[in-house]
Amino acid sequence: MPVITCIEDLRQLAQKRVPRMFYDYADSGSWTEGTYRANSADFQAIKLRQRVAVNMENRSTVARMVGVDVKMPVAIAPTGLTGMQHADGEILAARAAEKFGVPFTLSTMSICSIEDISAHTKAPFWFQLYVMRDRDFIERLIDRAKAAHCGALVLTLDLQILGQRHKDIKNGLSAPPKPTLANLINLMTKPRWCLGMLGTPRRQFGNIVGHVKGVENMGSLSEWTAKQFDPALNWGDVEWIKKRWGGKLILKGIQDVEDARLAVDSGADALIVSNHGGRQLDGAESSIHALPRIVEAVGREIEVHMDGGIRSGQDVLKAWALGARGTYIGRAFLYGLGAMGEAGVTKALEIIHKELDLTMAFTGHTRLEGVDRRILLHGSYPGSPGS
């Protein structure tokens, strides 16, 4: 086993162990992938101010996200097909998050179902909702999340239509993989993954198959989902969902100040500044670049979170300094999962926590409450003088 010191180490190991179509699904963006790359690059452009001769004892990274105590202001983001990165992937990631003390968010397009996660965890997890044309299905999905005692509903607003990801088309992405010659040859090089999949019955979209009339297999599922993402989704639907849900509501996919104000008006508990990991509108600005403007506009009226490009604890601290009161990791935990299963997700969280803790200390702080833009070098961060 190679020595793992950073998220990049986990990425490289996952690339070796996960079938190409599923690794590429996680590690790609739409069209030119410009926004996908900018999400990480713009974090790297932000520079930190090192402080010295400051008492660094008794540090703590604890915080609260929508009223939930967390070991650090990080949640596991909802990602589709997680159970194809590693057998029972959503269950493993949820267990790792629960043990570590951060929220886990299950995607509508997960392989393991809401009920699977509920049966394998004790702490309330969060559920991410895509709005489909079939409103009866959506109502039942919300009710299933209620029955599982999910702690928050994360409503994704930026997937009314699907952005084009070239790698998925070229790989013929499907769950389980289509038995083409190219796929079979690739699977022969991934024995760990294949053995894991042979040992689990969870190989399809668990929240959908068996819960929608006429959808009993992957063929009928593909036909159904192609017609179901609702391009007519609007703020009136958000109000309807909020009433149906009745609990904490987080709106994901906000990139514009005008939309952030509408999120406040909707009565949601939090919003997530997000460009869907660069997987939807290529050419959109990075999440960290959009964050300060949205915090300035609505940060006193709604809890502002962000995702996109976070690969280290330093990224988490930079986002916190610019006003985010919660962050989400998607690819970072998927790399860990694909590399080492549950232990890999735990490793990813440990790496990010250690980097966050040490960087906070190097910038002269022992608590996140005291961290703000003053830890950042002027001119290096979006919205700063000279930037």
**pLDDT of the residue at 153:** 98
**What pLDDT, on the 0 to 100 scale, is given for residue 215?**
74
pLDDT, position 385: 78
pLDDT score recorded for residue 387: 66
Which CATH architecture describes the domain 7-375?
Alpha-Beta Barrel (3.20)
- The length of the chain is 387
Q: Residues within the annotated binding site for glyoxylate?
A: 25, 165, 276, 279
Whole-number pLDDT of residue 338: 98
pLDDT computed for residue 213 by the predictor? 80
Torsion of CA 221, 223, 229, 232, to 10 degrees: -150
What are the backbone dihedrals phi and psi of residue 386, each rounded to the nearest 5 degrees, phi first?
90, -5
Mean pLDDT by 10 residues, the chain (387 residues): 95 98 97 98 98 97 98 98 97 98 97 98 97 94 98 96 92 86 95 97 93 72 77 95 98 98 98 98 98 98 98 98 98 98 98 98 98 97 82
Instruction: Tell me the binding residues for FMN.
Output: 78-80, 107, 128, 130, 156, 252, 274, 307-311, 330-331
Q: For residue 255, give the DSSP letter.
A: -
Distance separating alpha carbons of residues 291 and 304, to the nearest angstrom: 8
Contacts with 135 (C-beta within 8 Å, 6 or more apart), sequence order: none
- Domains in the chain: boundaries: 7-375
Instruction: Give the helix/strand (H/E) hosting 289.
Output: helix 287-298
Annotated binding-site residues read 25, 78-80, 107, 128, 130, 156, 165, 252, 274, 276, 279, 307-311, 330-331
Residue 353 bears catalytic tag: no
Burial of residue 210 (number of CB atoms within 10 Å: 0-12, 13-18, 19+): exposed
pLDDT at 179: 87
Angstrom distance (rounded) from CA 26 to CA 215: 25
Tell me which of 276, 305, 353, 365 is the catalytic residue. Answer: 276
pLDDT of residue 214: 75
